[in-house]
Chains A and B, each alone.
Chain A
Amino acid sequence: MRAPPALSASAPRNGSRDSVSGALRRSASSSSTAAAAAEMSASSAFIDEKGGSASEPEYGHDPASGGIFSTDYKRHDDLKEMLDSNKDSLKLEAMKRIVAMIARGKNASDLFPAVVKNVACKNIEVKKLVYVYLVRYAEEQQDLALLSISTFQRGLKDPNQLIRASALRVLSSIRVTIIVPIMMLAIKEAASDMSPYVRKTAAHAIPKLHSLDPEQKDQLIEVIEKLLADKTTLVAGSVVMAFEEVCPDRIDLIHKNYRKLCNLLIDVEEWGQVVIINMLTRYARTQFLNPNINESLLEESSEKAFYASDDEEDEDKKAEAATLAKRKPYVMDPDHRLLLRNTKPLLQSRNAAVVMAVAQLYFHLAPKAEVGIIAKALVRLMRSHSEVQYVVLQNVATMTIKRRGMFEPYLKSFYIRSTDPTQIKILKLEVLTNLANETNISTILREFQTYIKSMDKDFVAASIQAIGRCATNIGEVRDTCLNGLVQLLSNRDELVVAESVVVIKKLLQMQPEQHSDIIKHMAKLIDNIQVPMARASILWLIGEYCEHVPKIAPDVLRNMAKTFTNEEDIVKLQIINLAAKLYLTNSKQTKLLTQYVLNLAKYDQNYDIRDRARFIRQLIVPTDKSGALSKYAKKLFLALKPAPVLQSTFKDRDHFQLGSLSHLLNAKAAGYQELPDWPESVPDPSVRNVEVIRLLERVTTLTSIPDWSKCTSRKDRKEKKTEKPFYSDSEGESGPTESADSESDSGSGSESASASDESGSGSESEESREETESEDEEEDEEKEKKRKKRLDKTKAKKPAEESAESEQSSGTEDRKRGRKAVKNQKSASESESESESSESEDESEEESEEESESDTDIRKKKTPISKQPPKQSKKESKKERQEMSLLDLDDFEPAPASAPVTPVNFLSSSLVSDLEGLSLTNNILAPTTIAPSGSIKMYELLHRITGEGLAVEYCFSRQPFSPDPNMVAVQIQFTNNTNSETKNLHIEEPRLQSGMRIREFTEIDVLAAGESVTVVMGIDFCDSTQAANFQLCTHTRKFFVSIQPPVGELMTPVFLTENDFKKEQGKLMGMNEISEKLMLGEKCVNEHVIVERVTATANLSRVPCGSEKECRFAGKTVSSGCLVLVTVPTKEGGAAQLTVNCEKMLIGTLLVKDIMQALSQ
């Protein structure tokens, strides 16, 4: 049934329908409201008519069908009787029928009194259906609905959380203003309910109350604030939803919860994720700096420089400032990075809305170089339902205009299939056109050629237009396209021809003089083409370029004059134009014709045409009355017209937030929140720091409510289980630029890798341990805190050299003992993770041993961090972390990158050496350590003599470089040996081999005399040992320096199992395998020395192996991720064989050489 019969018959087919139906509906509902007070039967008759039951098809087999009832009103009495009965089964049956009526849009409001009585029914099933009914009709029958309120109020106190939640749900869904205070109270109470499910319901109720009574806003915001602080993933999505609806501009409420939301995000349900990501996109736009600011500054400064030539002083200054700002590299706020990092895994979500949300977040917030990762995920969505494709393609089309390169590799995914719906075809065509450039245009055009032969004519027309756009955008193919289009003019399908004409016209306008033969050809076509737009286009062309076709033009005009009266309006207008132009250029031949046409036009039915004729006659035919304008008639008509710019309809659509409804419609939808512009300067980042005191309070309240803390802790434990591997991953990303926190993170992360290798039994014991810990640990809290702080500082402060030395110095045994002593004092998470690894020590299982070995390797190689947070904030964050770990609230971990980054050196060197011993405890997790002692070799970059007192050394820290995993992290240590400050240390003018890239370190503002500072930069060597050359600049001098990597530093360790290793090795045979025999050096007596030597030479990790006589290592190249596998089987008497398998033969060869050397020494 399409619409009520009365409607479809009477409603006019345009515009006003909505209001008409509105009127009907109004009167219907009005009478129903009135009916409640007055007689019921009469109104129900009316209502049923409105429901359109008469025209409704009946489905007899449906037992719940209301068809019978609607024709026979007495049946409603039956229902009433059933509802009044004592039997639940009868009530249920009645309610089912009523719900079925509601479902089909029939009015059941007259049953309200009978139904509402059953709200207190014990039977939960009846109750539920009554709720359904109430929510639907309460608004219309307010007085009666109030009868049910007390039941809900009782329900809100029920011990069962289900009943509490559903009572709140229904209560808040009843849109009756009178109960607003009751609702407010209920929401407030539910917001601090023990059950997260009830709190979630409270969050849902907030927007309902707000739309009912906006005056409650202030109170509701308080509730939102409270719920935003909630830690459960269940609540997070719903409360952000409420926030978005009630107070989207209160961005200040988010600050304190920002990091928590980021960290919780991955565990929130899908729908909540979408809402949170969208909100955080807006938040980030107001709180962080534009990561692509350098790019835009570059443009700006060049502009400024241009204006500076006007020798205006202040302009000059501005330009200077701009260049200064340009030189100062942009540093991403760690919170900004946190958001990007934590949303990235969600690109793998099965939910298209989540993927799109992350994609738009990256598009709007990520540095240009990182946006590319979203392309693959978006292309994947193209496999989804056609509606999803439609929305995704719209967004891709917008993106391709801004960042074409992103989607270029996926060009073929946008090829069109004949089975695609037309709207999808046209969007794909748009994307293909946007992607076209000089290199791929030939393939694209070949593809377009097949499209032109499609049976779908709308699509063919769009294809022709696409060819036109390619031709205008890419000069090289303009002639090819034009020729192709001209051939289409002989197509049998008139629409194809017409579309081609229109496109050709636009193309010809670009270079008319070369194409007079095409114009001639088209002039001949005018007899055959009937499509008005095409005829008009041809006429315009002839008129515009009549000098190129002097003979044909008058003839065309003559023909057109004959048919003038039968033409369409646009054609008539063009005939007049043609006549006017010919009159001006060739009045001899066309004077009479023109006058004839103008006369015909004078009496035309269309006033536009009459006006035009009158106007043109005045202009071109000189009379005594004609004004000064007629002198310029020729200039007016035959002025050179600029060629039309064929551009995408998706241009500049990105001012709407992508993925939004407004973007899709290209119009602002109701309730759309503008995406704010980036701020000019950084807003205070400390607003996001969470105060410790408040957290402490929270922790105590948590523990004081036994059952929900239990529930959360269980939840968190689970979260942690999933979280752990993430951190081992984040270790890969967490960069040297990040503060001390990231180290402890990565530490626990790498352990979790080994932990996760253990089976379920392991995790069980872990659980029990945690529980006891959370109780025990509180007393030790203070001590730990101090210790931890010191630990972290040393870890962070200690320069690389020192760490290397100290590692060598003290005995392993001592350290082990020392560690055992302090073990109990460690924080919960740490001790847990440590005992994990101690377990794995105890187990003589080779595998786990290997793993922990490699872990310690990593930790040992952990290098000092250059940037120290100011003491205060660091203490805070440390403390905070402490609190967290007590309860295992892993999700609360302050962002690894959360500490502010300001390079301050505040620890004296003596303190560093004092703390050395302590820091070592960290390094001795596995006593069997065979890590390459002193493996971090320092190279000299700038000698202090050539550097005039500035000494620069560098080493390969073997850390993953977080801003770009494809780069090798190079740690650079500056020492100022002069007596004065050195300022503005930075890099300039890198000269690199093609493909190589450099990520500079943050400029060092000041390096005080005698001080040294360490920074980290990233270099993508493209898996080659070519040197990276650049200039190192201070405020006074520039030094040419170069960094050449040993081949072993071009790789990162990969963890493989024995099986995987063999499998991978099997794939890399033949050319990819290099084998050499060698004699081991005198000192290479045992396996450990070999491992040490090899890992010192190359950044590889050991692979477990059954036999003692063989050592295996695996890694992958940093840039391209090719596997590098090394095998060293030893034989009697110091003989050995070295085998390297690597796809990159050059790397393999070089590596063999290096390892040979290392082993034979």
Chain B
Amino acid sequence: MPNHPVPVPSSVLAALKNKTIHLSAAKMIHSLFLVNASGDIFLEKHWKSVVSRSVCDYFFEALERATEPENVPPVIPTPHHYLINVLRHRIYFVAVIQSEVPPLFVIEFLHRVVDTFQDYFGVCTEAAIKDNVVVVYELLEEMLDNGFPLATESNILKELIKPPTILRTVVNTITGSTNVGEQLPTGQLSVVPWRRTGVKYTNNEAYFDVIEEIDAIIDKSGSTITAEIQGVIDACVKLTGMPDLTLSFMNPRLLDDVSFHPCVRFKRWEAERILSFIPPDGNFRLLSYHVSSQNLVAIPVYVKHNISFREGSSQGRFELTLGPKQTMGKAVESVLVSSQLPRGVLNANLNPSQGTYTFDPVTKLLSWDVGKINPQKLPSLKGSMSLQAGASKPDENPTINIQFKIQQLAISGLKVNRLDMYGEKYKPFKGIKYMTKAGKFQVRT
């Protein structure tokens, strides 16, 4: 802020003479800069007085120091400000703050901003933000007042500022209207702050996706070092009026640690292990959970690997075979294997039994798009790697990261028992889908 000892021209002094400059601590988020992957500031928004974009130089310095984009420290102190940044979709969201504030408060808010953009524009890319710069500005204006969050619920925001759709863009250009809502969102005053009122659908439907991710570290010999299941229930609820839903599980005791959307009545859960809630309109994450660690985690795939370098030779051997393990009879699909090979590897000459593989000689990243695993004919990737001539054999062992999907299976065995609706007369269409995915699934070699 303008508190540097800088000579000020007399004309300015005249203009400022009836204005006192206070250095009183201004709280929370002061300004926001959006920086793209190539290091350009492409949007700035100030909620209090203007902070020069040169403050971002400290951020750029940190960016240069960091070897990887994600290694920029989330909090960067500068002489007069603190910069708190998050990296999403290859855009850095850099918030400028001036005084003590819980860092997670700012980080969480920035992520919420990104989520909102994604919700509005489908994607959160530089192009999308630039295309919708006015909407973005309106959103930011509504989300923060004087640096303190005002409205962050997407249901409320959507009433204040209509999301752009192709149709509305056309209408807007013809009628010359914008996306700003005419009315104060009723939600601000309604009993249910996260749900807008007056929702109407001709087809009333409620879909719930139970998605579980397996995080695991498998060691060299194939034994599990750590494995846990994290799950979420994402909902897409399009129901008329003010429905009050309850969702119960066959085996709620599986859930060890849960976090809820604010709509879930916590006490009901504590007492009866039933999710009772008035849902927001549209898409939202109802619940995230962690499956208790006492339960053994079924590992759906195994990897046989032989990655070796011989001393003195400029060749290395690479062999990888995947197979299904505990899949409850379901097919393992969308399998993608990736591995960061040692720096010494110049190139890889491999032969996949199915799917395609790529090796980037610059980043040394090997990735193999396997597709579906056929238990009769296990997919394999074999071949040789060429090393730098004369270089000694690399010490490091590459780890293998695996992604996969299993449809119609919640690997923890979690099952939704029933979904009931109260408060409305009609009969909604209900759907539950299960899916298991690999989370951070790593095999050490």
Contact code string B175-215 (vs A, CB < 8 Å = 1, else 0): 11110101110001101110000000000000000000001
Q: Is B271 an interface residue (CB 8 A)?
A: yes
A453:B189 contact, CB within 8 angstroms:
no
Q: Which B131-155 residues have C-beta < 8 A from chain A?
A: 131, 133-134, 136-138, 141, 145-146, 148-150, 152
Residues of A within 8 A of B (CB-CB), count = 154
B131:A419 contact, CB within 8 angstroms:
no
Partner of B6, one of A26, A124, A244: A26
Q: Which A441-484 residues have C-beta < 8 A from chain B?
A: 447, 450, 453-455
Interface 9-residue window, one of B19-27, B369-377, B378-386: B19-27
Contact code string A90-117 (vs B, CB < 8 Å = 1, else 0): 1011001001101111000000000000
Contact code string B23-61 (vs A, CB < 8 Å = 1, else 0): 011111000000000011111111011101111110010
For A715, give the chain B residue with the smallest CB separation. B191
Tell me how far the C-beta of A659 lies from the nearest C-beta in chain B, rounded to whole angstroms: 5
Q: How far is the CA of A24 from the CA of B104 in the complex (A)?
A: 33
A671:B53 contact, CB within 8 angstroms:
no
B288:A350 contact, CB within 8 angstroms:
yes
Partner of A419, one of B50, B74, B176, B442: B442
Q: Which A27-45 residues have C-beta < 8 A from chain B?
A: 27, 29-31, 33-34
Q: Is B354 an interface residue (CB 8 A)?
A: no
A161:B184 contact, CB within 8 angstroms:
yes
A418:B340 contact, CB within 8 angstroms:
yes
A376:B395 contact, CB within 8 angstroms:
no
B20:A380 contact, CB within 8 angstroms:
no
Interface 9-residue window, one of B9-17, B302-310, B315-323, B429-437: B9-17
Q: A34-B11, A345-B266 are known contacts. Are A19 and B100 too (CB-CB below 8 A)?
A: no
For A173, give the chain B residue with the smallest CB separation. B146
Interface 9-residue window, one of A629-637, A717-725, A854-862: A717-725
B54:A17 contact, CB within 8 angstroms:
yes
A387:B258 contact, CB within 8 angstroms:
no
- Chain A residue numbers with a CB within 8 Å of B184 are 160-162, 165, 197
A19:B442 contact, CB within 8 angstroms:
no
Tell me how far the C-beta of B166 lies from the nearest C-beta in chain A, rounded to whole angstroms: 15
Q: Pick from B180, B183, B228, B256 the residue with the most CB of A within 10 Å.
A: B180
Q: Which A132-174 residues have C-beta < 8 A from chain B?
A: 132, 136, 139, 142, 160-162, 165, 169, 172-173
- Chain B residue numbers with a CB within 8 Å of A350 are 259-262, 285, 288
- Chain A residue numbers with a CB within 8 Å of B74 are 387, 390-391
Q: A33-B12, A125-B180 are known contacts. Are A380 and B257 too (CB-CB below 8 A)?
A: yes
Q: Which B355-370 residues have C-beta < 8 A from chain A?
A: none
Q: How far is the CA of A1 from the CA of B111 in the complex (A)?
A: 24
- Chain B residue numbers with a CB within 8 Å of A1082 are none
Partner of A3, one of B2, B57, B225: B57
Q: A207-B146, A665-B75, A670-B99 are known contacts. Are A349 and B18 too (CB-CB below 8 A)?
A: no
Q: Is A625 an interface residue (CB 8 A)?
A: no
Partner of A669, one of B82, B176, B285, B442: B82
Q: Is A260 an interface residue (CB 8 A)?
A: no
For B34, give the chain A residue with the smallest CB separation. A103
Q: Is B108 an interface residue (CB 8 A)?
A: yes
Q: How far is the CA of A533 from the CA of B49 in the complex (A)?
A: 48
Interface 9-residue window, one of B63-71, B117-125, B327-335, B405-413: B63-71
Q: Is B168 an interface residue (CB 8 A)?
A: no
B444:A450 contact, CB within 8 angstroms:
yes
Q: A388-B104, A391-B103, A660-B100 are known contacts. Are A125 and B12 too (CB-CB below 8 A)?
A: no
Q: Is A2 an interface residue (CB 8 A)?
A: yes
Q: Is A1118 an interface residue (CB 8 A)?
A: no
Q: Is B390 an interface residue (CB 8 A)?
A: no
- Chain B residue numbers with a CB within 8 Å of A398 are none
Q: How far is the CA of A2 from the CA of B175 in the complex (A)?
A: 38
Tell me how far the C-beta of B174 lies from the nearest C-beta in chain A, rounded to whole angstroms: 9
Q: Is A307 an interface residue (CB 8 A)?
A: no
Q: Is A201 an interface residue (CB 8 A)?
A: yes
A204:B189 contact, CB within 8 angstroms:
no
- Chain B residue numbers with a CB within 8 Å of A11 are 54, 57
Q: How far is the CA of A213 from the CA of B21 in the complex (A)?
A: 9
Q: Pick from B12, B67, B251 the residue with the most CB of A within 10 Å.
A: B12
Contact code string A332-351 (vs B, CB < 8 Å = 1, else 0): 00000000000001001111
Residues of B within 8 A of A (CB-CB), count = 138
Decide if the interface of chain B is mainly helix, strand, loop or mixed. Answer: mixed
Q: Is B7 an interface residue (CB 8 A)?
A: yes
Partner of A661, one of B39, B52, B75, B219: B75
Contact code string A55-70 (vs B, CB < 8 Å = 1, else 0): 0010101101000000
- Chain B residue numbers with a CB within 8 Å of A669 are 77, 82, 99-100
For B265, give the chain A residue with the smallest CB separation. A722
Partner of A729, one of B40, B52, B183, B271: B271
Q: Is A783 an interface residue (CB 8 A)?
A: no
Q: A132-B141, A350-B285 are known contacts. Are A19 and B191 too (CB-CB below 8 A)?
A: no
A353:B105 contact, CB within 8 angstroms:
yes
Q: Is A1146 an interface residue (CB 8 A)?
A: no
- Chain A residue numbers with a CB within 8 Å of B71 are 421-423
Q: Is B399 an interface residue (CB 8 A)?
A: yes
A89:B146 contact, CB within 8 angstroms:
no
Q: Is A641 an interface residue (CB 8 A)?
A: no
B134:A64 contact, CB within 8 angstroms:
yes
A1:B26 contact, CB within 8 angstroms:
no
Q: Which A407-431 residues have C-beta < 8 A from chain B?
A: 412-413, 415, 417-419, 421-423
Tell me how far the C-beta of A297 lies from the nearest C-beta in chain B, rounded to whole angstroms: 32
Tell me how far the C-beta of A653 lies from the nearest C-beta in chain B, rounded to whole angstroms: 14
A30:B8 contact, CB within 8 angstroms:
yes
Q: Is B250 an interface residue (CB 8 A)?
A: yes
B41:A455 contact, CB within 8 angstroms:
no
- Chain B residue numbers with a CB within 8 Å of A352 are 104, 107-108
Partner of A17, one of B57, B87, B131, B134: B57
B266:A266 contact, CB within 8 angstroms:
yes
B177:A177 contact, CB within 8 angstroms:
no
Tell me how far the C-beta of A965 lies from the nearest C-beta in chain B, rounded to whole angstroms: 11
Tell me how far the C-beta of A389 lies from the nearest C-beta in chain B, rounded to whole angstroms: 9
- Chain A residue numbers with a CB within 8 Å of B103 are 391, 659-661, 664
A64:B68 contact, CB within 8 angstroms:
no
A725:B271 contact, CB within 8 angstroms:
yes
Tell me how far the C-beta of B233 lies from the nearest C-beta in chain A, rounded to whole angstroms: 12
- Chain A residue numbers with a CB within 8 Å of B180 are 124-125, 128
Could you list some 10 contacts between A and B, CB below 8 A?
Answer: A17-B54, A59-B130, A383-B215, A387-B86, A388-B104, A454-B396, A669-B82, A715-B191, A722-B265, A725-B267
Contacts A21-B52, A59-B130, A204-B148 known; 5 new A-B pairs at CB < 8 A: A2-B40, A19-B4, A274-B105, A412-B225, A721-B265
User: Which residues of B does A touch, CB under 8 Å?
Assistant: 2, 4-9, 11-12, 15-16, 18-20, 22, 24-28, 39-46, 48-50, 52-57, 60, 67-68, 70-71, 73-75, 77-80, 82, 85-88, 97-105, 107-109, 111, 130-131, 133-134, 136-138, 141, 145-146, 148-150, 152, 175-178, 180, 182-184, 188-189, 191-193, 215, 217, 219, 225-226, 228, 230, 244, 250-251, 256-262, 265-268, 270-272, 276, 285, 288, 290, 340, 342-343, 392, 395-399, 401, 422-424, 440, 442, 444
**Pairs of residues from A and B, 4 with the lowest C-beta to C-beta distance, nearest first:** A89-B176, A671-B99, A725-B267, A30-B12
